[in-house]
Amino acid sequence: MKSREQLNSWQQLTQHADHMKKQHMKELFAQDGQRFEKFSIKLPSILLDYSKNTITSETMSLLTQLAKECDLEKWRERMFSGERINSTEDRAVLHTALRDRSYTPIQVDGYDISKEVERTLAQIKVFSEDIRQGRWKGYSGKRITDIVNIGVGGSNLGPQMVTEALKRFSDHTVNVHYVSNVDGAQIAEVLRPLKPENVLFIVSSKTFTTTETMLNAKTALKWLIASSFDQSAIAQHFIAVTANKKNAINFGIAEHNIFDMWDWVGGRFSLWSAIGLPIAINLGYDNFVELLNGAYDIDCHFQHTELSNNIPVILALLSMWNCTFLGAQSQAILPYDQSLHMLSAYLQQAEMESNGKSVNWYGETISYPTVPSIWGELGINGQHAFYQYLHQSNNIVPADFIGSVESVTPIQGHHETLMSNFFAQTQALMQGVNEQQVRADLIAKGRSADYIDKVAPHKVHQGNRPTNTLLMDKISPFTLGSLIAIYEHKIFVQGILLQICSFDQWGVELGKGLASQIESELYHNNIDLSHDSSTWNLLMHYQEVKSNDKV
Ligand code: F6P
């Protein structure tokens, strides 16, 4: 098997990158009036404009050739058909089956998982409606008014990002809260205004071993029992979503209150499963189904559209172009829609936990840059914080601008101002402004020659900063489902192009193991001498200050 770097297209792309590094997008736009038509894709409710990248038709054709040489189409089929493409964990990767609205039978380990999906969806429907309509009662016979989702990472970020994004679609019959951090400050703050008799806890943990989640769940349990004075209240106030039924039962959760998770769904791709219960309860089951519909729509687009016109494929190819070939080290996610305020946090886990790796499928060290670090913030807030860096620093940060044509919260004038900034920023990042233009502007403003000499270099914007624009018609359960699925498939494609095992996360284990060792040392006040001097001294200082505080 050829390494990626030996592929014909890879070598051509390396040479082509040297040439393109000397090009300015402004010139490329001036030379080609058809750039937008060539480098944009329109779906019924989402438009991707990727013309503001340092690309030409030759770039895109070489990148598409690379995707073909990497057998992307075959890998795509292997994923959708349930092959065990998560090779390090020997598992299938089938989050797409969770939203397959055609319920195509797929065999995993000898059983048809589409039936499992259908059964669980029916369970989610009944359960969420029971809660919303007040049929499910708390220990004192009162209805549930608040749910608290206890979970972290993939068992938190997806549902929280979605319920935040779709707040406008909630009728507030049942409020939703999230506890992810083991810092007691969070659970204390969440529980403070709530009454135990009205609260349902959803303990979401695929493994049901995650220390932080288990501790938060125990604290919640104590809080409930302190109010109900009765262990049996657990059955009305605790449910679990997990692939580890045994641990959930040992924890004290009634078996009939446990929703299944499966090993063919990765935690960070699980919001479409019962991990999405907070979504169904808070927004109603129909909205949850709309979210699935939107994702399914993109699954069909991704599966059946030619590579050169395929949004997730194009986004992955561009990420690789900017990062591996042009050397960008980070990527910004910049939503211009308040509802997407958690999107960058969500995508950080999705992309960085999936592809932030440095060995390939065969365990060999990868010698080229793989994926960028992902960060971001709501666009307008970012403009008044870090956009200075985006425009003028000597690090190029490619950015995804995400906005909506129509606001879900129309207040006169607001959306126009917001979106004017949205369009202006990508134009400014692309065009920049050169010294000649700066000087002409200052002269026109009547500035002195001395002032102009001093200030002009500081006002120059090099431009040529790549951006993608994703413009949705309007945020809705459907379009949000589509948006998330676009990024999920982008991440899958990146993994194939880079030969990265995208569906494991061994990199989180080392720290977890050490934390549990250190916790035991702190607990027994017995700091191990084998720690490096930095860690040892930090631990000793911590213990010393703590014991002084106690005196
Ligand atoms: O530590 C990382 C991780 O394993 C994520 O991959 C996962 O989403 C999160 O922890 C939570 O895991 P679980 O759902 O098993 O509690």
Query: To test the ligand 1 pocket, which listed residue (178, 258, 357, 508) has its Cβ within 8 A of the most ligand atoms?
Result: 508
Task: With cut-offs at 50, 70 and 90, classify the pLDDT of residue 229.
Answer: confident
512 is catalytic: yes
353 is catalytic: yes
Question: Count of H helices and E strands in the chain?
Answer: 24, 13
Q: How far apart are CA 178 and CA 436, in angstroms?
A: 53
Q: How far apart are CA 362 and CA 476, in angstroms?
A: 41
pLDDT value of position 109: 87
pLDDT value of position 324: 97
Residues within 6 Å of ligand 1 by CB? 152-155, 205-207, 210, 213, 267-268, 353, 505, 508
Residue 195 identity (one-letter amino acid): K
Residues 153-212 have pLDDT tens digits of 999 999 999 999 999 999 999 999 999 999 999 999 999 999 999 999 999 999 999 999
Distance between Cα 108 and ligand 1 center (Å): 23
Task: With cut-offs at 50, 70 and 90, classify the pLDDT of residue 63.
Answer: very high
Distance between Cα 210 and ligand 1 center (Å): 7
Distance between Cα 275 and ligand 1 center (Å): 12
Query: What's the average model confidence in pLDDT over 266-282?
Result: 98
Residues 84-134 have pLDDT tens digits of 999 999 999 999 999 999 989 999 988 899 999 999 999 999 999 999 999
Residues 432-449 have pLDDT tens digits of 999 999 999 999 999 999
Residues 356-397 have pLDDT tens digits of 999 999 999 999 999 999 999 999 999 999 999 999 999 999
Alpha helix (H) residue ranges in 305-434: 311-320, 343-347, 354-355, 379-383, 387-392, 414-431
Cβ contact 215:230 at 8 Å: no
> pTM for this one?
0.97
DSSP letter for each residue of 76-126: HHHHHTT---BTTTTB---GGGGG-TT----EETTEEHHHHHHHHHHHHHH
